[in-house]
Structure 1
Amino acid sequence: MQTFTLATAAIFAMTAIILGAFGAHAFKKILSEEKLTSFETGVKYQMYSALALLIIGFNIDFNLYNARFAVYSIVLGTLLFSVSIYFLSFADYWKKNFRFLGPITPLGGLLMIIGWAALLVNFLK
């Protein structure tokens, strides 16, 4: 579980840096200011999750259910939240209707909140 958590943290951080660089340079030319701001929000939350998972990976006892639940919730929540924002940001440019992803974004955010709540329960025990 520790390897999964740390590897996921590294993948999230690496892709956030790559996407952030594209957002700061190449995507400025093709996305509106509003869409670029949304895209950057997805990148920020992905990086926040990467850093959190890195800290969790080195400091949590994964024998505890709440710790494992927190990691899975944060990972799944980040994927749903950030990836849905990425696709929604490019919907106009790609001329695709990704409106079905609209409800996925807050679901991802809710899962991240649940993950943090599970960590809080883990810390208070």
Structure 2
Amino acid sequence: MRWPLILGALFAMLAVMAGAFGAHGLRALVSERGLEIFQTGATYQMYHALGLILIALLAVLPVSRRLLGLAAGFFTAGIVLFSGSLYLLVLTETPSLGAVTPIGGVCFIAGWALLIAAGALASPCPTE
């Protein structure tokens, strides 16, 4: 399960870049509310990038790789749909893009639910 680690690190790096761009590059170009929206996208992107890295680390445990892979897929879709729609909403001033954001949020929730299921169904680790 290398792809969640690679994507997680990539998305984390891009979240730092987006946060810096929002804090420095956009300040004179968009409203205070626009900056808040952009920052929300960067924050949620970072949370779920770290979630992808966590999934990669959990793959060494006796946990369903299928459920972990599905969770990683939903986190990835959530980052693209949720954070991506917020970035585009601010940068293009297209309010209709806000309709995509909740779909990304549902993807995040589904990813966490799948991670819960993976933990609940995991084989117990042998004790020493």
Q: How high is the TM-score relative to the length of structure 1?
A: 0.89
2:120 and 2:99 map into 1 onto residues whose CA distance is 32
Contact 2:64–2:118 at 8 Å: present in 1 too? Answer: no
Moved over 6 A (4+): none
Secondary structure in 2 matching 1:70: helix
Root-mean-square deviation (Å): 1.4
1:26 and 2:22 aligned: no
Match of 2:108 in 1: 112
1:38 and 2:34 aligned: no
Gaps of 5+ in 1: 93-97
Amino acid corresponding to residue 24 of structure 2 in structure 1: H
1:86 and 2:82 aligned: no
Match of 2:16 in 1: 17
Identity %, equivalent residues: 38
Match of 2:117 in 1: 121
What's the offset of the Cα at 1:52?
Answer: 1.2
- The number of aligned residues is 119
- Summarize the Cα distance change of 1:25–1:86 in structure 2 as closer, same or farther, 3 Å threshold: same
Match of 2:70 in 1: 69
1:100 and 2:96 aligned: yes
What's the offset of the Cα at 1:54?
Answer: 1.0
1:64 and 1:56 map into 2 onto residues whose CA distance is 9
Amino acid corresponding to residue 115 of structure 2 in structure 1: L
Secondary structure in 1 matching 2:26: helix
Match of 2:125 in 1: none
Secondary structure in 1 matching 2:27: helix
- Summarize the Cα distance change of 1:19–1:77 in structure 2 as closer, same or farther, 3 Å threshold: same
Q: By percentage of residues, which structure has more helix?
A: 1
Q: How high is the TM-score relative to the length of structure 2?
A: 0.87
Highest Rg: 1 or 2?
A: 2
